[in-house]
Structure 1
Amino acid sequence: MASSGLFFKDGKKRIDYILVYKKSSPQVEKRSTFEKNLRAEGLMLEREPAVTNSDIMFVKIHCPWETLCKYAERMNIRMPFRKKCYYTDWRSKTMGRLLKSWLPRNPMKLDKEALPDLEETDCYTAPFSRARIHHFTINNKDSFFSNSTRSRIVHHMLQRTKYEDGKSKMGINRLLNNGTYEAAFPPHEGSHKSRHPIKTHGAQNHRHLLYERWARWGMWYKYQPLDLIRRYFGEKIGLYFAWLGWYTGMLIPAALVGLFVFLYGLFTMDSSQVSKEICEANETIMCPMCERNCTLQKLNESCIYAKVIIFDRGIVLMISTATVFLEFWKRRRAVLTYDWDLIDWEDEEEELRPQFEAKYSQVERVNPITGKPEPFQPFPDKLSRLMVSVSGIFFMISLVLTAVFAVVVYRLVAMEQFASFKWYFIKKYWQFATSGTGVCINFMIIMSLNVVSLLLTESEWENSFALKMFLFQFVNLNSSIFYIAFFLGRFAGRPGKYNKLFNRWRLEECHPSGCLIDLCLQMGVIMVLKQMWNNFMELGYPLLQNWWSRRKMKRGGQLMEHKISLPQWEKDWNLQPMNLHGLMDEYLEMVLQFGFTTIFVAAFPLAPLLALLNNIIEIRLDAYKFVTQWRRPMPARATDIGIWYGILEGIGVLAVITNAFVIAITSDYIPRFVYAYKYGPCTDQGYRQEKCLKGYVNSSLSVFDLSFRSQANLRGFSLLYRYRDYRAPPWSSAPYEFTLQFWHVLAARLAFIIVFEHLVFGIKSFIAYLIPDMPKDLCDRMRREKYLVQEMMYEAELEHLQKERKKNGKQYHHEWP
């Protein structure tokens, strides 16, 4: 057993944590003091040199039973003391049996028969106490505390042990930062692979079981073994994968709706009255869209773009799906926190960070809940930290806006160049070339600024850092999209009175078919490229790093047989450490994706489908990465996904507002609606969309007279040209002023925004009201469990007192002469 790398040399003491340092490190005194204090706290340490590197030394840490009990009590760790007994009526039992016998085998269902080691001890739990140790079910002291619990206790001790005399001279994190130690991690439970099939020989360990039943790509259609994930990696990572799986499942209806909208538009685009009129307008000459090199083009040249713009249906349903997702996640989270015994964890176990405790130990106040003194951060200190954080956020956002402005300038310059390009294809489709190259450059800027943000927004506080990173990356990712959706072409002016940037470049206008095609292109390219890049960085980069480390070992003269004889701690040392910010990168990627799938879904209804396909890969990619490519992270506890839930709710609110503006302002839905009811050919005959839109295109185009100009490149053509706007013709009494139809459309747009927002917010609130945060049967189970726990604690205490009285009575009888 000792050779497996999971025990001390004696083969009995289990390794709970590994410290790694270099013999050449000059921090010998700090390391010696730290390890001396660890031994004084009750830990056992054993050194072991590395097999492949003579300069590397491993320190194996074992936490004995007495120390485990002491810190389990201090940390209020809940431990089992009796099997649970649930109250279920005969109807639920009967229905369960009928469903089990009638329903066919579900291929998506996790086959628990294939997980023989996944037998959760379903017991009542209570905070551990050495004085009441007789209450707890202790069949074996070696297995009473799980491996993840043992590692968590040791990590707690490492965080609070001093290495020098001083208030803040404590904690393994500081020793890692100053180079005293190279790494600190709990060991994996063994190899993730086996020579023998798992079906015939079973799993070697939980890591092997996770790989075979979860992390392999062939398991992409299976449910996740969340209980095993939680047992091996801790509740915090277990909740992440539970949330990711739940989010992926809720994307299915949104993806189906988006796909239906896309296919419906695809099959009906040839029958659209508006696209027909654009495709048949071979005599309508549009105004040039750039100042110098753009040639005149006919309206029917925009035929293909007009057919593509079909995305303005099913939006309310897809946004409501986001609300359903958040509400049902509350229920799912409630069930998980109950099953994982986290209901009362926040009140009983959450502790102050050791760095905060050391920094503000001199400033204390009485906790109103516990009545005990605790470190307190003064208001001036809070205010100064807040001002620094806000300043940093504004600086980064201003950097993003500067980058967006640079892309806008590029588009203004590029459209002149592409319009005069020698290649006919580029010259003909210069707008597509401008948008395509602009979005690619914008994507490179987005990824570059994301890297810069990691260096400039560092923070000791996890929630603060997560919020700052989200705000920056959200603005970075969506600023160009907001520009195209709401600003592109809005301030360009009109023919004869165009607005120019720096009095040189004419501001960019929308395509004759509208700005929605540019918005769709921007979203599609950024979403696809970003997902491909994230997948490479999450899996491809660690694979390359691990491959390079193995290659260096071979170049250094290491033999291949060393790989076979390497102990587990050295194999883990050769893996990549988990990201410095833990799960923040994983959550941030998914939350930004959630924003993409909801905020501009009116312009790009295929976004939920792309997100669904990506997430199916993402779950297995993350699983493979956690199980095979990363060192085992410290098993941390959590009751929810933290600040990310509030961010998701904020995105849901923003999605309603943004989609209302996209439909009302960016798309032509409202102008078509106003024309059909007010100006169309069938205003008094009932409303039918396509029939009543006859003549809409001509109504939406204004006239510009070039007869007063003598431009060489315009000779030989009609001097009356069209442009997208609602302005009076030049021969009217008020030339180029806004028409009555413009004000009708504007009023309808404002009214639609108000009605749409109130309608969707009303639906969201109604859905939230209908769906309680906690299932009723779970509430009943919790109440019954609380009652039974009090009864069993009373019975156990009474039984213990009776045994003590009998024992004392016998002792008194023997001592009496």
Structure 2
Amino acid sequence: YKKSSPLVEKRVTFERNLRAEGLMLEKEPSLTNTDIMFVKIHVPWDTLCKYAEQMNIRMPFRCRQIKSWLPRNPMKLDKEALPDLEETDYCYTAPFSRARMHHFTINNRHTFFSNSTRSRIVHHVLQRTKYEDGKSKMGVNRLLGNGTYEAAFPPHEGGYKSRHPIKTHGAQNHRHLLYERWARWGMWYKYQPLDLIRRYFGEKIGLYFAWLGWYTGMLIPAALVGLLVFLYGFLTMDTSQVSKEICEANTTIMCPMCEENCNTWKLSDSCVYAKVTHLFDNGGTVFFAIFMAIWATVFLEFWKRRRAELTYDWDLIDWEEEEENLRPQFEAKYSRVERVNPISGKPEPFQPFTDKLSRLMVSVSAMKKIGFGILFASFDWEFVKKNWQFATSGTGVCINFMIIMSLNVVYEKVAYLLTNLEHPRTESEWENSFALKMFLFQFVNLNSSTFYIAFFLGRFAGRPGKYNKLFNRWRLEECHPSGCLIDLCLQMGVIMVLKQIWNNFMELGYPLLQNWWSRRKIKQTEREERTRGGQNVEIKVQLPQWDIDWNLQPMNAHGLVDEYLEMVLQFGFTTIFVAAFPLAPLLALLNNIIEIRLDAYKFVTQWRRPMPARATDIGIWYGILEGIGVLAVITNAFVIAITSDYIPRFVYAFRYGPCADQNAACLRGYMNSSLSVFDMGERLNVSEESRYCRYRDYRASPWSPVPYDFTLQFWHVLAARLAFIIVFEHLVFGIKSFIAYLIPDMPKSLCDRMRREKYLMQEMMYEAELEHLQKERKKNGRRYHHEWP
């Protein structure tokens, strides 16, 4: 806290009550800031045992050594070089009880409770200690909010670097061990030490890195299949019948791309466009879309199994989330309305249902208006973008990306205001509400232009001689004769790559700059120069760990929301339009390999140690991932049916193409069949040779009985598109549901282990109690025998 803080009375009362709870407090001034005073909290053994019993913390009851006969996996950590990482011991655990303390494996009182467990116990006490006389005037969070204290954090266990190699001298502490075997970039191919992460940072952060690692591992097969689909398109690019017809169409005159200052052009000019489009729009598109829909289901179902194993190994199966304290803002708003808490039986502030519903409706309506504003705002840039040039398209995407990132800052503040408007009751409710709003805002902001290109671009442009115009002035943009898929690929590829680069730079670059500036400011404190006898003598000042951590950056105010949000948005990009961009899983895999080590480096070296917290799952994010999986099936069905040329080619091959002749290619003549004729002589003074031009549509010729009317082929293609959407969605949803039914949420081996452990634990408890009673009888018998004479 600051020495100049005026809220002395609350601080004195709070610290007095902390001492009454059994904590030991020690104050020490900061060596880097004369206005800062540190309050160090120590927890005696008896206090730890008391609160460990109250919090129902499970502790090791008996351990046994597990020896594996399998050969050493080079991707796993070297256990011989890490003596502190005791993952080879399997321990049975039971809720801690002071009455049965002799049952637990207590080799050393200083290490029996891990540092994260100690921090969690201290945080439990800090959250429930009063600072004023009142029903709910308690908790360190309220004191942090009103400025009584500046920060509250557990210190790191020491430095993360050492002059001596870890293999020869061992790890100095768990932080050093995490840095050497997890956070260093050279460990990118190693498995994560999840047990050590959980032991140091708590279960909530451990689950995040477990989920991120699982997601990254599951991306490997998706990336390989996507790469094979891309390579298939690359190898067949020159032999594609459609590309060959476009490249050889030297005499096919196309209509002007604009009404002013634009001339006719040859279809062969789009040869490069056609070949690039074939890279992403080929025979493997439908297969890959089905594969990714099934992959998303398998990923989520197997994550549930992985989560079940982790919650069992981390003793979270029987853990129930503790009753949270009320948020100070909620308490201040509804302090006049009270009701009895059905769990604690104590009166507390209460938000009426009508008030909650009205605030929720205001928040939802505001989100809708902002969301539609984002969608329509993206149209303006698309109208002026010249789609037929690669350079202009790339520039447009880059500018669009800058607008997206700028709007994300605005929408974060809007989401914060709307969440506070709802007045959530607890911190977890606030975090879930804020996370959902942030996802919806950023998802719409990030994907609005992509949805426009996929489903709206060129659909309402009209035809030559009768173009649709916006406000009777601007002509709507139309797709290139080779299709709109290339624009969709460019949009996704550039935004995905730039966003990942920007996020990685901000996650690592900003903390590094901030910490460098902090070290620069305290450089004179670390090394003071004093003049003695005309000579400069340099004296090094060793800062304590709490002072070093104070100058590090605190964890994000929103906790893990930003970390999950980045990965969930990437998951959406990887699955929703994967039919148009099969390289998305590969880009996501490469990014996540970097992301894991970047986050690890940030948590271990650049951030203050966060408060350990327990959790049994990833919270609201699992429901969001399921929603993305459902949306991905629908969007990929529409992309294949509407955006790509798969259905028109399919209809032509089996209805209009020369497939009756087995020696001829089924798509021969497809390009000519997909182009209509326009008579420019109706409105322009042109020669007879250049009077007619072609455009992409299925319309009757100018000399037909009904000029420019839709042909029968148009209706066949439309019917085939609708039929494909229905069949594709029902087929994929059926496969997804069947796979989800086949995969149980908990492995059978885990169920057997749980039942086996429960049985063995009861036996061991009985044997330990019997052994304890026998020792007591022998001890008493010797004492009585000694006293009887």
Cα drift, residue 410 of structure 1:
3.0
2:593 to 594, 616, 620: 616
Separation (CA, whole Å) in 1 of partners of 2:368 and 2:773: 65
Cα drift, residue 812 of structure 1:
8.6
1:245–1:619 CA contact under 8 A, matched in 2: yes
Cα drift, residue 437 of structure 1:
2.5
Partner of 1:420: none
Listed as ranges, the gaps of 5+ residues in structure 2 are 420-426, 530-537
Cα drift, residue 791 of structure 1:
2.6
Cα drift, residue 28 of structure 1:
2.1
1:528 aligns with 2:502: no
Separation (CA, whole Å) in 1 of partners of 2:766 and 2:74: 46
CA pair 413-478 structure 1, distance change in 2 beyond 3 A: closer
2:388–2:480 CA contact under 8 A, matched in 1: no
1:636 aligns with 2:613: yes
Structure 1 residues 153-184: Cα deviation after superposition (integer angstroms, max 9, x where no partner): 11112122222334443222222222222211
1:746 aligned partner, one-letter code? L
1:44–1:62 CA contact under 8 A, matched in 2: yes
CA pair 433-393 structure 1, distance change in 2 beyond 3 A: same
Cα drift, residue 23 of structure 1:
1.3
1:452 aligns with 2:410: yes
Q: Taking structure 1 as the reference length, what is the TM-score of the superposition?
A: 0.88
Structure 1 residues 334-364: Cα deviation after superposition (integer angstroms, max 9, x where no partner): 2111111111113xx5332343896789312
SS of the aligned residue for 2:658 comes to coil
1:116 to 78, 83, 93: 83
Cα drift, residue 502 of structure 1:
1.5
SS of the aligned residue for 1:269 comes to coil
Partner of 1:576: 553
1:499 aligned partner, one-letter code? N
Cα drift, residue 802 of structure 1:
5.7
Partner of 1:238: 206
Structure 1 residues 391-428: Cα deviation after superposition (integer angstroms, max 9, x where no partner): 34224313422432xxx22332354xxxxxxxxxxxxx
1:41 aligns with 2:21: yes
Partner of 2:309: 335
SS of the aligned residue for 2:238 comes to helix
SS of the aligned residue for 1:462 comes to helix
2:58 aligned partner, one-letter code? R
2:526–2:541 CA contact under 8 A, matched in 1: no
Equivalences for residues 122-137 of structure 1 within 5 A: 122-137=90-105
Separation (CA, whole Å) in 2 of partners of 1:256 and 1:245: 18
1:110–1:223 CA contact under 8 A, matched in 2: yes
Bigger shift: 162-171 or 639-648? 162-171
Cα drift, residue 552 of structure 1:
2.3
Equivalences for residues 255-404 of structure 1 within 5 A: 255-310=223-278, 311-312=280-281, 313=284, 314-346=288-320, 349-355=321-327, 362-364=338-340, 366=342, 378-404=352-378
Partner of 1:737: 709
Partner of 1:678: 655
Separation (CA, whole Å) in 2 of partners of 1:810 and 1:389: 75
CA pair 393-809 structure 1, distance change in 2 beyond 3 A: farther
1:23 aligns with 2:3: yes
Structure 1 residues 537-593: Cα deviation after superposition (integer angstroms, max 9, x where no partner): 110111011111122224789639787500111111111111111111111111111
Structure 1 residues 654-705: Cα deviation after superposition (integer angstroms, max 9, x where no partner): 11111111001000000000000000012x346x9x8100000010011111
2:256–2:264 CA contact under 8 A, matched in 1: yes
Separation (CA, whole Å) in 2 of partners of 1:151 and 1:438: 51
Structure 1 residues 375-402: Cα deviation after superposition (integer angstroms, max 9, x where no partner): 8754334424422432342243134224
1:481 aligned partner, one-letter code? T
2:415 aligned partner, one-letter code? T
Bigger shift: 318-327 or 673-682? 318-327
1:365–1:376 CA contact under 8 A, matched in 2: no
Partner of 2:510: 541
Separation (CA, whole Å) in 2 of partners of 1:84 and 1:393: 55
1:486 aligns with 2:455: yes
Partner of 1:719: 691
1:82 aligns with 2:50: no
SS of the aligned residue for 1:222 comes to coil
Partner of 2:533: none
1:758 aligned partner, one-letter code? H
CA pair 399-174 structure 1, distance change in 2 beyond 3 A: farther
1:765 to 726, 737, 755: 737
1:470 aligned partner, one-letter code? F
1:285–1:721 CA contact under 8 A, matched in 2: yes
Bigger shift: 105-114 or 568-577? 105-114
CA pair 267-414 structure 1, distance change in 2 beyond 3 A: closer
SS of the aligned residue for 2:458 comes to coil
CA pair 557-136 structure 1, distance change in 2 beyond 3 A: closer
Partner of 2:756: 784
Equivalences for residues 642-681 of structure 1 within 5 A: 642-681=619-658
1:283 aligned partner, one-letter code? T
Structure 1 residues 239-272: Cα deviation after superposition (integer angstroms, max 9, x where no partner): 1111111111111111111111111111211111
Separation (CA, whole Å) in 2 of partners of 1:330 and 1:372: 36
Separation (CA, whole Å) in 1 of partners of 2:186 and 2:383: 49
1:366–1:373 CA contact under 8 A, matched in 2: no
1:257–1:318 CA contact under 8 A, matched in 2: no
2:82–2:167 CA contact under 8 A, matched in 1: no
Separation (CA, whole Å) in 2 of partners of 1:280 and 1:395: 49
Equivalences for residues 166-177 of structure 1 within 5 A: 166-177=134-145
Structure 1 residues 424-448: Cα deviation after superposition (integer angstroms, max 9, x where no partner): xxxxx86334422321222112111
CA pair 330-293 structure 1, distance change in 2 beyond 3 A: same
1:52–1:562 CA contact under 8 A, matched in 2: no
Partner of 1:221: 189
Structure 1 residues 314-344: Cα deviation after superposition (integer angstroms, max 9, x where no partner): 3222332222222221221121111111111
Structure 1 residues 621-671: Cα deviation after superposition (integer angstroms, max 9, x where no partner): 111111111111111111111111111111111111111110010000000
Bigger shift: 576-585 or 170-179? 170-179
Separation (CA, whole Å) in 2 of partners of 1:67 and 1:398: 56
1:79–1:125 CA contact under 8 A, matched in 2: yes
1:710 aligns with 2:710: no
2:671 to 654, 675, 697: 697
Cα drift, residue 110 of structure 1:
2.1
Cα drift, residue 808 of structure 1:
7.4
CA pair 200-806 structure 1, distance change in 2 beyond 3 A: closer
Partner of 2:424: none
Separation (CA, whole Å) in 2 of partners of 1:710 and 1:399: 40
Separation (CA, whole Å) in 1 of partners of 2:110 and 2:93: 19
SS of the aligned residue for 2:666 comes to helix
Q: Taking structure 2 as the reference length, what is the TM-score of the superposition?
A: 0.91
Separation (CA, whole Å) in 1 of partners of 2:53 and 2:661: 80
Structure 1 residues 74-106: Cα deviation after superposition (integer angstroms, max 9, x where no partner): 2111112222599xxxxxx9xx63x43xxxx54
Bigger shift: 701-710 or 570-579? 701-710
2:307–2:617 CA contact under 8 A, matched in 1: yes
2:526–2:543 CA contact under 8 A, matched in 1: no
CA pair 434-723 structure 1, distance change in 2 beyond 3 A: same
2:103 aligned partner, one-letter code? H
Separation (CA, whole Å) in 1 of partners of 2:235 and 2:482: 19
SS of the aligned residue for 2:31 comes to coil
SS of the aligned residue for 1:639 comes to coil
Cα drift, residue 125 of structure 1:
1.6
Partner of 1:64: 44
Partner of 2:396: 438
What's the RMSD between the two structures over aligned residues? 2.7
1:411–1:435 CA contact under 8 A, matched in 2: no
1:138–1:144 CA contact under 8 A, matched in 2: yes
Partner of 1:8: none
Cα drift, residue 610 of structure 1:
0.6
1:365–1:375 CA contact under 8 A, matched in 2: no
Separation (CA, whole Å) in 1 of partners of 2:775 and 2:350: 47
Separation (CA, whole Å) in 1 of partners of 2:13 and 2:140: 12
1:469 to 411, 432, 438: 438
